[in-house]
């Protein structure tokens, strides 16, 4: 690998807000070289938002780095808003942002939910996509969602027990609906308690070894509310039809250069999904990082991601 860690911290040279409809406004920023090759970063969740660290996966001398917060996430407004928030809206937003910024074609980089959105965007708008770099693959299928609520207990029983035990025993037959009732509560304390429990459950499963700094981020109020509300909303109301729609659609984008990067011990988005994607997309480069979990901040995983962006060509 040419690079072994993140690039130094940088600040945006331009930022703004893009109204995408009468309800939602997206925060966006540009870093690096204004004349560089455009690359757009798609954050996870849904609902997690982007952070300054995410600018550092890309060589600022080579790339025009475009980062934004998706509907209901991060600095976009309104935070945690679920109305008019679904995958077709998000892909259309991404295309609207491209046109707003005057980008002809760009590289697309996304992990976890960002891989979902990246694949969906490329399938809807293949022509502007120079390449896809996808990490921690999530295709929003029923088995993946079931794993989040039930399967994780086989590998992280303590974390799963904390997640389940937040809900009274008589409501545990449907954890998703039980959490949603609290995440959609008008009581701020109830809503935040549920959001933090959900978010920290995910955070505790995101690294191979415990990471206090990451857990602090997942416990932060804005992060937790955006992540938990939007994940619950998407799991409840935005399932794909058919369930494997994104995988079936790969046939339309197999001509696009792609790299799939997957932590071998990813408990949030298990490797079986990345493996299925690669079988459907054998032309894609497939990199398994054998000593990493889910988080892009895992040392060997972030090294693989930086190496992948360094290898991109215009």
Q: Report the distance separating Cα 42 and Cα 229, nearest Å.
A: 18
204, 266, 278, 295: the catalytic one is 266
100 is annotated as an active-site residue: no
C-alpha distances (whole Å) from 314 to each of 129, 284, 309, 310 are: 11, 17, 11, 11
Q: Are 39 and 58 in contact (CB under 8 A)?
A: yes
Q: Report the distance separating Cα 205 and Cα 149, nearest Å.
A: 12
294 is annotated as an active-site residue: yes
Q: Output the six-digit token pair for 181.
A: 């009732």
54, 223, 278, 294: the catalytic one is 294
295 is annotated as an active-site residue: no
Task: Of 92, 97, 1, give the one whose Cα is nearest residue 40.
Answer: 97
112, 131, 204, 295: the catalytic one is 112
Q: Report the distance separating Cα 311 and Cα 308, nearest Å.
A: 5
In DSSP terms, 27 is beta-bridged to: 17
Active-site residue list = 112, 266, 294
């Amino acid at each position: 690998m040419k690079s072994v860690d993140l690039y130094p911290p940088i600040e945006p040279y331009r930022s703004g807000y893009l109204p995408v409809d009468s309800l939602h406004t997206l925060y966006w920023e540009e870093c690096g070289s204004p004349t560089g090759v455009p690359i757009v970063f798609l954050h996870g969740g849904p609902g997690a938002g982007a952070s300054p660290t995410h600018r550092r996966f890309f060589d600022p001398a080579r790339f025009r780095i475009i980062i934004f917060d998706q509907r209901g996430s991060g600095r976009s407004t309104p935070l945690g808003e679920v109305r008019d928030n679904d995958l077709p809206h998000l892909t259309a937003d991404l295309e609207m942002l491209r046109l707003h910024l005057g980008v002809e074609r760009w590289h697309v980089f996304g992990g976890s939910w960002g891989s979902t959105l990246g694949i969906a965007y490329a399938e809807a708008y293949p022509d502007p996509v120079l390449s896809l770099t996808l990490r921690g693959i999530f295709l929003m299928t029923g088995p993946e969602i079931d794993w989040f609520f039930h399967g994780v207990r086989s590998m992280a029983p303590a974390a799963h027990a904390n997640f389940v035990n937040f809900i009274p025993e008589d409501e545990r037959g449907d954890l998703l609906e039980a959490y949603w009732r609290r995440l959609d509560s008008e009581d701020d304390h109830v809503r935040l308690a549920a959001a933090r429990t959900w978010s920290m459950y995910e955070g505790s499963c995101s690294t191979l070894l415990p990471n206090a700094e990451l857990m602090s981020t997942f416990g932060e109020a804005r992060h937790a509310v955006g992540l938990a509300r939007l994940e619950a909303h998407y799991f409840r109301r935005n399932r794909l039809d058919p369930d494997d729609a994104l995988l079936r659609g790969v046939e339309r984008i197999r001509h696009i250069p792609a790299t799939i990067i997957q932590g071998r011990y990813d408990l949030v988005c298990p490797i079986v999904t990345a493996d299925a994607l690669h079988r459907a997309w054998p032309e894609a480069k497939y990199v398994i990082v054998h000593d990493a979990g889910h988080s892009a901040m895992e040392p060997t995983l972030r090294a693989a991601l930086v190496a992948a962006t360094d290898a991109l060509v215009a």
